[in-house]
Amino acid sequence: MDGVSFTLRQGETLGLVGESGSGKTTTCLSIVGLLPRAGRIVGGRVLFEGEDLTRKSQRELRRIRGRRIAVILQDPMASLNPLFTIFRQVAEPAFFHQHLRGRTLRERVQGLLRAVRIPSPEWRMREYPHQMSGGMRQRIVGAIALAGGPRLVIADEPTTNLDVTIQAQYLDLLKDIQRETGVALIFVTHNLGIVAKMCDRVAVMYAGKIVEQAPVRELFDDPKHPYTRALLGSMPKLGNKEPLYSIRGQPPNLAHLPAGCAFHPRCPDVMPRCTSDEPRDFVLGDGSVARCWLLDDVLTRS
């Protein structure tokens, strides 16, 4: 990751998009201090409600994770323990972070399961993950994320394993919960259709950097970076009989990035300076920010 910077406000949804390996999940894990052992933060800050999370110890971060920041991972079966009942797993954040006990805790779990539309929660909470459908398991993971009363939820491709119908229901559920609680949401996905439905702003990542950031409407109506245009061009379109567009080449090896703009070996609009000079951020009047030398020419002419 290099120079990643964005701001998220209360009740807002930020979409992180890009190809696999672009740095979306690593960005999210960096926020909550869950990088793998080989990874570390060597500079910069992660400011959350005025506090720099990079200066927190693991003990302090454990009091933040689940209580103030929650994470929904893309595979619910990797998040749920097959040996524990649904009640125990949903109750754990409320038990530790909100100090609920006994009947109050049981009512809290039932309320959370009801909020994520699990039928008959008083019975379902006695069951185990293998007794649930994929859609129900994903909703239960969402209930666990909400159990501690977080201010921010990071959802890392939470609809990957869901069919289209269940996916739509789950996204509507997340929006309803967000309206009711005011929680902020970082939504990581490959699906640009979900971005259009869910997000207020979008950050497009490539090779460990944010190459474009814009309000969702502006990004879809007038993408500035060639990589963003390529991603949008790769989306299947109803009724289109032409071959599906694909971005040529492969994402670069992050240990051996090319000189200049990392996207230049794959870019259809590459210029000589792209191969030697790394582009800076260009701030545009519509609230967009993009890293591309094409914008330097556009702004100079204007």
Of 109, 116, 108, the closest CA to residue 171 belongs to 116
Query: Strand pairing partners for 206?
Result: 209
Q: What is the pLDDT of residue 103?
A: 94
Residue 15 has pLDDT above 90, yes or no: yes
pTM: 0.90
Helix ranges, 52-161 (H)? 58-64, 76-79, 86-97, 102-115, 121-124, 134-147
- Per-residue exposure over 257-284, b if at least 16 CB sit within 10 Å of its own CB, e if not: ebebbbbbbbbeebbeebeeebbebbee
Neighbours of 256 (CB within 10 A): 6
Mean pLDDT value of segment 221-249 = 87
Of 171, 205, 187, the closest CA to residue 72 belongs to 187
Residue 144 has pLDDT above 80, yes or no: yes
Reading the block at residue 123, the tokens are 């019975």
- pLDDT per position as a tens digit, 174-223: 888 898 889 999 999 988 888 998 999 999 999 999 999 999 999 999 99
Rounded Cα distance between 150 and 278, Å, is 38
Domain boundaries, the chain: 13-199, 223-301
Largest CA distance in the chain: 68
Instruction: Look at residue 105 and give its three-state secondary structure.
Output: helix
Exposed, middle or buried, 173 (CB in 10 Å: 0-12/13-18/19+)?
A: middle
What is the CATH number that goes with domain 13-199? Answer: 3.40.50.300
Q: In what order do the strands lie in the sheet with 13-17?
A: 69-72, 152-156, 184-188, 13-17, 201-206, 209-215, 289-291, 281-283
Mean pLDDT of the chain: 90
